[in-house]
Amino acid sequence: VEASVRLAMFGGYRVGTWEADGLHEITDLLSTEGPFGAPYRMNELIARFDDLRGAIEDRRQTGPIVDPAMVRIETPLPRPTNYLAAPLNYRAHKAEMSGPIASGGTSAKEMGFFVKASGSITGPNDPIELPKRPGRRFDHEGEIGFVVGREARGVGVDEALSHVFGYTLLLDNTMRMTETEREERTLRKSFWSLNPVGPVIVTADEIPDPSQLTIELDVNGERRQSGSLGELILDIPGLIAQASAVLPLLPGDLYATGSPAGVGPIVPGDQVRISCPEIGEMSFAVTERSW
Ligand code: MN
């Protein structure tokens, strides 16, 4: 088994592998150019990864090396074609989500996915800017996302994991409904900057069984959420089989697997930290949006 690769974007859609001695840049191995092409470099890298693997391994040995402290680390996946997400997918979270602010008592198994606007994704160095919506509650949802590696169309659960390229961390922050304000879930989960993804994509090589991955989320240093993908109501092969029966999943697509219990409100001034030992960590200041 080859070692997992940690893929990052930085300094204006430059691409590199994150090694112990810094970022090893591989931007020049990718062909997309210009302001409209650069954000799609990671999609290209994922689609061509098997062909590029040898060149990437060479570059991991030789550099050039960029000091991560000297560049802005960006989301590694700014433009997934499809950004899908599991609604209630942990039993304990399902139990806490009964009542008027939630949408019902069924899980991802019955409901399938919802769609998040991929244009709302930001990175590990961007604050969470809550929009001006007086009286509305915004909740943190810390989640592990999987990234699709090759097209999945009508894939069964037995072959599903072979379509996973890697894993990343994300927040699926949510504006809650009220008794009288009941917007579509897609709107409530698509506010810009409430959907950070990163800090890297870790390739699936050394994670043959994703159910071992764990996630923790702290607010102001206090543990609020912890969970393991082993607790999912519908596991990753099930999510892929279900979604790929609806539409082809494409290289670079992102799927948010669901949030463990402990979801709760965030307000300006809070600091939110999310971590997974195999992937890394991100920490965000919660602020108020200026527009
Ligand atoms: Mn969620």
3-class secondary-structure state, position 276: strand
Residues with CB under 5 A from ligand 1 (ion): 141, 172, 259
257 dihedral zone (left: phi>0; alpha: psi -120 to 50; beta): alpha
Query: pLDDT tier at 100 (50, 70, 90 boundaries)?
Result: low
Name the band, by pLDDT with cuts 50, 70 and 90, for residue 220. very high
Q: What is the distance in A from the centroid of ligand 1 to the CA of 112?
A: 12
Calculate how far, in angstroms, residue 258's C-alpha sits from the geometric centre of ligand 1.
5
Q: How far is the CA of 83 from the centre of ligand 1 (A)?
A: 12
DSSP state, residue 152: B
Distances (CA, A) of 139 to 29, 146, 198, 226: 40, 22, 19, 15
Ligand 1 centroid to residue 119 C-alpha, Å: 17
Whole-number Å distance, alpha carbon 150 to ligand 1 midpoint, is 24
pLDDT at residue 1 above 50? no
Please report which helix (H) or strand (E) contains residue 135, including its range.
none
In this prediction, residue 208 has a pLDDT band, given cuts at 50, 70 and 90, of confident
Ligand 1 centroid to residue 186 C-alpha, Å: 11
Q: How far apart are CA 193 and CA 260, in angstroms?
A: 21
Within 13 Å and on the Cβ side, how many CA atoms surround 272?
33
- Residues whose CB falls within 8 Å of the CB of residue 111, separated by 6 or more in sequence, listed in order: 87, 88
Structure tokens at 28: 């020049």
Ligand 1 centre to CA of 118 (Å) is: 14
213 against 36, higher pLDDT:
213
Using DSSP, state whether 21 is helix, strand or coil.
coil
Q: How far is the CA of 109 from the centre of ligand 1 (A)?
A: 14
Span from the CA of 47 to the centroid of ligand 1 (angstroms): 26
What confidence category does residue 32 fall into, taking pLDDT thresholds of 50, 70 and 90?
confident
Whole-number mean pLDDT of the chain? 94
Give residue 102's pLDDT. Answer: 55
> Which of the pair, 36 or 267, is modelled with greater confidence?
267
Alpha helices in the chain (DSSP H): 41-47, 49-62, 91-96, 108-111, 157-160, 185-188, 236-244
Bridge-based pairing state of the strands 214-219 and 271-276: antiparallel
The upper half-sphere exposure of residue 40, i.e. CA atoms within 13 Å in the direction of its Cβ, equals 14
Rounded distance from Cα 245 to ligand 1 centre (Å): 21
Rounded to the nearest whole angstrom, what is the distance from the C-alpha of residue 90 to the centroid of ligand 1?
10
How far is ligand 1, taken at its centre, from the CA of residue 263, in Å?
9
Q: Indicate if the pLDDT at residue 101 is higher than 60.
A: no
Q: List pLDDT tens digits, range 176-195.
A: 999 999 999 999 999 999 99
- Cα gap 140→89, rounded to integer Å: 15
How many whole angstroms from 107 Cα to the centroid of ligand 1?
11
Least confident of 20-24, 100-104, 176-180: 100-104
Look at residue 95 and tell me whether its pLDDT is greater than 90. no
Q: What is the pLDDT of residues 122-164, one digit of tens each?
A: 999 999 999 999 999 999 999 999 999 999 999 999 999 999 9
Closest CA to 260 of 83, 95, 142, 97: 142
- Encode pLDDT of 69-92 as tens digits: 999 999 999 999 999 999 999 987
Instruction: Give the H/E segment covering residue 17.
Output: strand 14-19
What distance in angstroms lies between residue 143's CA and the mean position of ligand 1's atoms? 7
226: three-class secondary structure by DSSP: strand
- CA-based nearest residue to 62, from 2, 19, 14, 9: 19
Structure tokens at 224: 């609020």
Coil vs helix vs strand at 196: strand
pLDDT at 34: 72
pLDDT at 47: 96
Question: Contact 197/145 with Cβ under 8 angstroms?
Answer: yes
Share above pLDDT 70 across residues of the chain, in percent, rounded to a whole number: 96
Q: What is the mean pLDDT of residues 116-124?
A: 97
Residues 6+ apart with CB under 8 A from 120: 190, 191, 192, 193, 194, 195
For residue 162, what is the enclosing H or E element?
none
